Amino acid sequence: MEQPNLSYINSMSGGDKAFEQKLIDIIKGEFPEEKKVYFDNIAAENYKLTAENVHKLKHKISILGLEKSYEIAVAFENNLLEGETNLQEEFEAILTTMTNYLQQL
């Protein structure tokens, strides 16, 4: 599985370390709550709300340089809108990878 990185954040910052840290702090602050809401909604089988959660989370996936994972998130979001949970396991593995990475920052 691909690994998260800060390439996108670094390219956006133009070398501004304070900006980079602020963006990282925002992601670290928002991600756990967004992940929790996702798991609550998927457990309740509320797939429309779960799709909205995936939509929000996929932006953080992109920011952390996970291009293949972003494509999985897009496909999973579309599946959820059709009432399907295909790719759930793959998506949740991405969330675990992101969680582990953010804890190391």
Q: Tell me 65's DSSP state.
A: T
Q: Evaluate the CA torsion angle 41, 51, 29, 6 in order and state its sign.
A: positive
User: Looking at residue 74, what is its pLDDT?
Assistant: 98
User: Looking at residue 91, what is its pLDDT?
Assistant: 98
Whole-model pTM: value is: 0.95
Tell me the DSSP string of 20-52.
HHHHHHHHHHHHHHHHHHHHHHHHTT-HHHHHH
User: Looking at residue 1, what is its pLDDT?
Assistant: 76
Nearest to 23 by CA among 33, 34, 12, 37: 12
pLDDT tens, residue by residue, 69-105: 999 999 999 999 999 999 999 999 999 999 999 999 9
Question: Distance between CA 59 and CA 16 in Å, rounded?
Answer: 21
Question: Distance between CA 91 and CA 74 in Å, rounded?
Answer: 10
pLDDT tens, residue by residue, 33-77: 999 999 999 999 999 999 999 999 999 999 999 999 999 999 999
